[in-house]
Amino acid sequence: MRKRLFLCGILATIMTAVMAQQNKYSVTGESFDTVYNGKIYMYDLFTRQPVDSTDMQKGKFVFNGTVETPTAGVILHPKRGALAFFILEPGNIEIKLTSQTSEMKGTPLNDGFYEYTKQLQNMSDDNRKAQTKSLSESIIASHGNDILGVLIMCEAEGLGLDVEEILTLLDKCGNTVKEHPAIVAKKAEWESLRKTSAGKMFTDFTVEYDGKKTSLSDYVGKGKYVLVDFWASWCGPCRREIPNIASLYNKYKDKGLEVLGVATWDKPEDTLKAMKELNVTWPQIINAQRIGSDAYSISGIPQIILFAPDGKIVARDLRGEELKKMIEDVMKK
């Protein structure tokens, strides 16, 4: 019996050593920064937990270790921030960094990731959304059940795909993608966003400020087009959109256009001060904090949404020239 236990122990040790060998990774890098000599760090992009650290000398570095399950990695420079994004998986990974791009090669998933990033960079500006959609579908067809598929799905929103396209893409994925914690969280956001996408009826919310309750429904669904601007006094892009909104408001307020501001994630006193500074004359829902942004799944501002006279959402994510053209088009009808 003792001999059998001893043999089992040896076998377990051998198996552990074999598995460790199979899970080994080497990340060899060459950076454009040949001046800095010191520590750089590897983090898991999804958990934001440190994975490894090493010394970079004259632009060269090597990370060695083991990883059981492939994940997304990021290499951080203490002064420059993120140097490279890649997929941490077993094998010999080679990373080459310039001041503008990063090249990751040597393992199957990194080869696929690099090809994806190259195609994104080489896209023409003409019909870019259609090209992006086609590329995403192609990658998901090959990597819909691995960590590269997770990365593609996480990128989809930022690449201009709308929520219906994203959820359709997700349906084509396997459980490795669908059950990844990052995607589970994202899906909840996407489902919420779907409820407030173009063509859907408005979602109401109510905010109390200075003893008075104000609802979105006090303005939306009353027979006029309503442009709703979720903004904040501290938000530079928000402040830069105000003149555009003011121009449209002054031009069309007597022709059936209402404008409403929703002060988001801001102190009421700062909102009121900014309104004076920027000469904001249209109605405001002050001190909305997260009430309005949660109702419309807003993760960044400004978020400018146009509502139709019947209360349906015409478009969201409107900015600059696109905003101007949208208002001009609907006011012609």
> Could you tell me whether strands 24-30 and 91-97 are parallel, antiparallel, or unpaired per DSSP bridges?
parallel
pLDDT at 158: 80
pLDDT at 279: 96
Output the tens digit of pLDDT for each of the chain's 333 residues: 555 555 455 444 544 444 445 799 999 999 988 889 999 999 999 999 999 999 999 999 999 999 999 999 999 999 888 899 999 999 999 999 888 888 999 999 999 999 999 998 888 877 888 898 899 999 999 999 999 999 999 988 888 888 899 999 999 999 999 999 999 999 988 998 899 999 999 999 999 999 999 999 999 999 999 999 999 999 999 999 999 999 999 999 999 999 999 999 999 999 999 999 999 999 999 999 999 999 998 989 999 999 999 999 999 999 999 999 999 999 987
299: Cβ–Cβ under 8 A, 6 or more apart, which residues?
189, 293
Of the candidates 73, 75, 85, 72, the one whose C-alpha atom is nearest the C-alpha of residue 120 is 85
The listed CATH number (3.30.420.40, 3.40.50.10540, 2.60.40.10, 3.30.70.100) that belongs to domain 22-104: 2.60.40.10
pLDDT at 160: 80
| Exposed e or buried b per residue across 92-112, where buried means at least 16 C-beta atoms within 10 angstroms of its C-beta | ebbbebeeeebbbebbebbeb
pLDDT at 4: 54
CATH no. for 206-332: 3.40.30.10
Q: Which helix (H) or strand (E) holds 212?
A: strand 212-215
pLDDT at 21: 57
